[in-house]
Structure 1
Amino acid sequence: MTQLIDKNTLKLLRVPFSLFLMPLFLLALSQSGVYILSVYVLISFFIIHFLVYPSSNGYNSYIDKDEDSIGGLEKPPMPTKKLYYLTLVLDVLALLLAYFLVSPLFALCILMYMLASRAYSSKEIRLKKYPYIGFLVVVFFQGAFTYYTCYAGITGHALELNKPALFLLLAGSFQIAGAYPLTQIYQHQQDLRDGVITISYKLGYAGTFIFTGIMFTITNVCYFIYFNLTGKLNNFYLVQIFFIPIVAYYIYWFVKVLQDTKAANFKHTMYMNLVAAICMNSCFLVLYSIN
């Protein structure tokens, strides 16, 4: 195992980047009805954020061999075969732990997420090169499906797909639909060199921000309906407070990009991700504490 690990290989797993992917897990935790940090919660958190996400990041880096900035790394090192083998080890470990320590349903969800992630990046299928199909795959699997997977891991059983739950799943997917194009906005030229046309490139710089604004508005409507249906409208108003810094930075960055498209760069993208992650993670932790 130690022969698979070196400094650059570990760096390409981008484990700290899991912070940006944590909100849906914490949202699921806050709405799960599980108010004690059970073994299920801890194990599923570890599997998702320290095995599944890093493996997905590593596989993407191995396939793309990025020379320019990628999410979480301004100057990524060149990957080696070690990275590929390490992602396989992480995948197998994640599946075994999910199956034997949580539930077969959780393991099945993890497997489906892995397959979608591989199909997105692999040279053979390469869904990421199709702007609309690739976008929809990400929106579903990193949004509603991730929420469902997290809920299954946290509780040990399936989410009941009633009306409130469906609106919450929609909120998760529209949230990703808004955030994802912004994460691509600084990579237009790098993606084109790799034969990838992203949804952000199709929308353009201003169009990406407008599209994101529309998606987040729809997300907020879904949150309102969900909390109204569950009789917890006060929680919706609390969410709005945590959204204020996100909206403020979004407007600030949008104005800068309108003035000069060079502002659509790695630094501002990572700041946007960081502000959103801190606010949303904090928000859902507060909701969990209130519950």
Structure 2
Amino acid sequence: MKKSTILHLRIPFSFFLLPVFLLAVAVSEHIHQQNLILSFFILHLLVYPASNGYNSYFDKDEGSIGGLKHPPKVSRQLYYVSLLMDALGLALALVISFEFLLMIFIYGAVSKAYSHPSIRLKKYPLIGWLAAGVFQGYFTFLLSYIAVNDISFSESLNWSIQFPGILSTMLLLGSYPMTQIYQHDEDMKRGDITISQKLGILGTFHFTALSFMISSGGFFFYFMNEFSLNTGLLFSAAMFPVLLYFGSWYFRVRNDRTKADYSSTMRLNLISSAVLNAFFIYLRLS
């Protein structure tokens, strides 16, 4: 396999998407161990990398992208490998349940529609933003919860399950524009109009800050009611490093717009993913 293909799969980038899965695990009541391991493998080592590769193949970025500061040129092999990984993910999903298979298929279809030139949801600011937020948040939480608990879709239509799924989408809808903040020029060259472009650099920061406050308040309320006041307070404390870095970066960008760059964006992603992953693991084990 070509080195460029492996790099564009961006497997380490799955770490940034792991919090939604771990949230589903953390709030699960009856964990099915085999399904837990298998669904983790399907999502983070097959479906997400396949989506990354498929997106890279059609974007053909020359500038930095999520997880790759200097992306190499893509080859046709990347296209076929991404489809093969998708197919393998679907085959393994059937081991868990047909409903899980169907949800993985829908996730993959939306992911492809996001970047394929015949549809390319990415070029529509509101639709692209909602598709990413809903499917990487609520939808992924739901399919993860269904798999991990070995339940049917109808059994997941409970407010105590639906609410954290909705909160995960709220958090992603706020943070997603930040992942686009350094790609304005690259996106404009391809004719893509992102929500971050519409908001502007400082507007993206302001929008994310407001969304972060709302979603964090929602999570505090959820953890306080479903677990305890201390759990809610601990979640708020865990998010403090994210708030601290975000604030310091914001003031740097106010003085110099070029500071809204790839490295700073990846650093924010790393900090937020690390603290969320750590908190959800702690919650599961406590």
Asked if these proteins are the same fold (TM beyond 0.5), I'd say yes
CA contact 2:182–2:261 (8 Å) conserved in 1: yes
- Aligned mate of 2:270, from 263, 274, 284: 274
Q: Spell out, residue by residue over 1:107-146, the C-alpha distance to the aligned partner (whole angstroms, 9 max, x if none).
A: 1110010010011110000010000111111111011001
- Aligned mate of 2:58, from 37, 46, 63: 63
CA contact 1:62–1:83 (8 Å) conserved in 2: yes
Matches within 5 A, 1:17-96: 17-34=13-30, 38-96=33-91
Deviation of the 1:163 alpha carbon? 2.5
CA contact 2:224–2:231 (8 Å) conserved in 1: no
Give distance in 2, aligned partners of 1:166 and 1:19.
23
1:180 aligns with 2:189: no
User: Which has the higher mean CA deviation after the structures are superposed, 244-253 or 159-168?
Assistant: 159-168
Give distance in 2, aligned partners of 1:120 and 1:233.
40
Deviation of the 1:265 alpha carbon? 0.3
- Aligned mate of 1:169, from 129, 149, 165: 165
Q: Spell out, residue by residue over 1:215-249, the C-alpha distance to the aligned partner (whole angstroms, 9 max, x if none).
A: 11111222133224424332211111210100000
1:114 aligns with 2:108: yes
Deviation of the 1:153 alpha carbon? 1.8
> Between Structure 1 and Structure 2, how many residues are aligned?
284
* Residue ranges of structure 1 left out of the alignment (5+ in a row): none
Q: Spell out, residue by residue over 1:182-227, the C-alpha distance to the aligned partner (whole angstroms, 9 max, x if none).
A: 0000000000001001100100111101100111111122213322
CA contact 2:181–2:196 (8 Å) conserved in 1: yes
* Equivalent in the alignment of 1:141: 135
- Aligned mate of 2:146, from 144, 147, 152: 152
* Residue ranges of structure 2 left out of the alignment (5+ in a row): none
Deviation of the 1:169 alpha carbon? 1.7
* Equivalent in the alignment of 2:229: 233
User: Which has the higher mean CA deviation after the structures are superposed, 225-234 or 50-59?
Assistant: 225-234
Give distance in 2, aligned partners of 1:228 and 1:282.
18
Give distance in 2, aligned partners of 1:34 and 1:69.
41
CA contact 2:146–2:156 (8 Å) conserved in 1: no
- What is the letter of the counterpart of residue 73 of structure 1? L
Deviation of the 1:178 alpha carbon? 1.3
* Equivalent in the alignment of 1:125: 119
* Equivalent in the alignment of 2:261: 265
Give distance in 2, aligned partners of 1:225 and 1:161.
20
CA contact 1:167–1:223 (8 Å) conserved in 2: no
CA RMSD of aligned residues (A): 1.2
Deviation of the 1:156 alpha carbon? 1.8
Structure 1 runs of 4+ aligned residues shifted over 3 Å read none
* Equivalent in the alignment of 2:215: 219
Matches within 5 A, 1:235-254: 235-254=231-250
CA contact 1:25–1:150 (8 Å) conserved in 2: yes
CA contact 2:142–2:156 (8 Å) conserved in 1: no
Q: Spell out, residue by residue over 1:241-274, the C-alpha distance to the aligned partner (whole angstroms, 9 max, x if none).
A: 2101000000011111101000000010010111
CA contact 1:63–1:123 (8 Å) conserved in 2: yes
